[in-house]
Structure 1
Amino acid sequence: MAIAAGPANDEFSNQLLPAMPEPTTDHRLVETGDGSHTVYSSQFDQHYHNPNGAVAESRYVFFEQTGLVDDLQNRDSLSILEVGFGTGLNLMLLLDYYLQTNAEAHIDYYSIEGFPLQPGTVQQFNFDQHLQHPKAVDLVADLFGQISPGMNHIELLDSISVHLFYGLFDDFDPGDIQADYLFHDAFSPDVNGELWTGTTFKKLKTNSTKKTLLSTYCAASRARGAMAWAGWKVARAPGALGKREMSLASPDPERLGELNRVNEERLARRYEDNDF
């Protein structure tokens, strides 16, 4: 997860991007419970991943709970939108699953990052020890030295198009994409509240299909209320690595299967009344 924030705004910005801050160097590598690395940001006093297991939680939240791995083999094309590119781990895992399953689908992978890591930091990650195809780590690590402010378009593996936006979420305008999957992987609402508002989830809904599945590690009532206020149907799912719950959401309640739903009407009303 990572920061990709800006002031909440109901209007999508089509103006020129403001001058962007330099990538921060205020990071420290940490080994998590499954042996894989994460990054600790002293600026925001948070780790980028679950300290109990970076790779394990990302696999669980964004791939296993969503059924995305099966879709890689069954679909001709997929579009994924990620909020918080961070370490690039989710894209690394996607490439690894893609190679494992001999998938042939064309994938458009959109991601947003306001404060990209320094290439030197990324090169120290040990994610290659936790993937079947270390090539996936090298491909993604190389991106950090290539990106510049604004939208960056990079082709990977001939069939995976990466559209990495270096900038603030309010300035992100991907056009008419309709994502099949949404990875909401920003820092927690406590330090990155701008990315957990009703306005944010409403904007994400405009870039979704009726069957889009949004996944996030977060189970906070206010975050779920913001989703409900924006028109998402929201379900509780078992959390990973010691966390009691995570959240899945979709415009279509059938996409959530047999999972227990929250009371969207009540949470949306509480969000509207700022009752959290």
Structure 2
Amino acid sequence: MTNFRRIDQCGSLRCLPPNRFLCHCPLNCDHVSSFCPIMPIPQRATFPTDRPDLNVLVTDDGSRTLLRTGTSDSFHSGCGALSETRHVYLHNSGVAERLAHQRPTRVLEIGLGTAMGMIVTIGEAIHCDSEIDYVALETDWIAATTMQHLNPHEWTQESDLVDRYLDFRRSISTPVQPGRYQWAFDRLRRLRVDVADAAKWRPGEEAAFDAIYYDPFCPESAPQLWSSDCFRQMKSAITATGTLTTYSCSRAVRDALAEAGWSVDRVAGPVGGKREVLIARPQ
């Protein structure tokens, strides 16, 4: 049985149950109907990486992401990996504004993935000469050899950041063992990667994040990461004025967030991508 995916304005794939299609009504209401027309999926270039289970997908803004071989599970929207990352996470979270005003900022990312969000965000902190602590949770930490297929130097003007992060990743053997790995670009920009299951992760005393980039695979591929229990753990890790941002705005995700004590707003998605994405704040 074919497993169709949610389709962005540009035809990018997002998870949908088998034989169900997204209704493209003007309100982006997330109604799903087998009678709704389905948008054609643009043909996008793909090619292999050093890992047989991952291919490169060239997205519509020219940036590259990863695609699970034999599936439609991509690490970013096919409409534009870099534009999605900057819009949904860096800007919607308020992190860009905090960094511009040189406010020390703590970010938690659920799903480091290709490390695009981290590189974009720390690169912005370097540009603004701002302090940042960035913590990312990941179970499959992508190796430097795989990242190089994605042209990560195109994600930021801070080329030294990319070079030094790749060197850091090379210093850790693959497969990476569960644990906590720390690295500092300099005294103001710090990274910690927790190789751990986010569904079982518990925030420690060092919590109080200003922003959570919630970017795991879609609810159909990783349902345990979109439960109200998981969102309660996220709420215990956020500051009173913090934000959680994510690409998914399905009714089930909104309900799970609300049940966990979040106030949820649907806002415009990136140009050419999803019509709406989510910003959540603790109540």
Classify the TM-score, shorter chain.
0.7 to 0.9
Residue of structure 2 equivalent to 1:244: 275
1:37-69 CA deviation, whole Å, 9 max, x = no partner?
A: 100012653110111111111001112223311
SS at match of 1:201: helix
Report the secondary structure of 2:235's partner residue: helix
Q: Does 1:119 align with 2:150?
A: no
8 Å contact from structure 2 (residues 231, 257) kept in 1: yes
Question: Matched residues in 2 for 1:113 and 1:43: separation?
Answer: 22
Aligned mate of 1:186, from 207, 216, 219: 216
Equivalent positions of 1:186-205 (< 5 A) are: 186-205=216-235
Partner of 1:163: 192
1:231 corresponds to 2:261: yes
Larger helix proportion, structure 1 or 2? 1
Using structure 2 for the length normalisation, give the TM-score.
Answer: 0.75
| In structure 1, C-alpha distance between the alignment counterparts of 2:99 and 2:191, rounded to whole Å | 16
Alignment counterpart, residue 124 of structure 2, candidates 84, 90, 97: 97
- 1:32 aligns to 2:63 (yes or no): no
CA pair 148-142 structure 1, distance change in 2 beyond 3 A: farther
Which segments of structure 1 move beyond 6 Å, counting only runs of 4 or more?
A: none
Give the residue type in structure 2 aligned to 1:38. T
The equivalent of 2:3 in structure 1 is none
- Deviation of 1:144 after TM superposition, in Å, equals 3.1
Output the amino acid matched with 1:186.
Answer: P
Q: Contact 1:93–1:136 (CA<8 Å) still a contact in 2? A: no
* Percent of pairs with identical residues: 27
* Aligned AA (2:273): G
Other-structure match for 1:138? 163
SS at match of 1:40: strand
Task: Provide structure 2 residue ranges, at least 5 long, that are not aligned to the other structure.
Answer: 1-50
Match of 2:136, SS state, is strand
Greater relative contact order: 1 or 2 (C-alpha under 8 angstroms, separation 6 or more)?
1
Q: Any idea what SS the aligned residue of 1:46 has?
A: coil
Q: Distance in 1 between matches of 2:231 and 2:122?
A: 26
* TM-score (norm. length: structure 1): 0.77
Q: Partner of 1:226: helix, strand, or coil? A: helix
Q: What's the offset of the Cα at 1:79?
A: 1.0
Structure 1 residues 245 and 76: alpha-carbon distance in aligned structure 2, compared to 1, 3 A threshold = closer
Contact 1:185-1:216 at 8 Å conserved across structures? yes
Change (3 A) 1:100 1:166: same
Do the aligned partners of 2:249 and 2:276 also contact (CA within 8 Å) in 1? yes
2:88 to 53, 61, 69: 61
Query: Which stretch shifts more, 50-59 or 60-69?
Result: 60-69
Residues 44/175 of structure 1: CA separation in 2 closer, same or farther (3 Å cut): farther
The correspondence for 1:220, drawn from 238, 244, 250, is 250
1:188-226 Cα offsets, whole Å, 9 max, x none, are: 111111110000100111111111111111111101111
**Residues paired across the two proteins, number:** 228
8 Å CA contact retained: 1:151, 1:164: yes
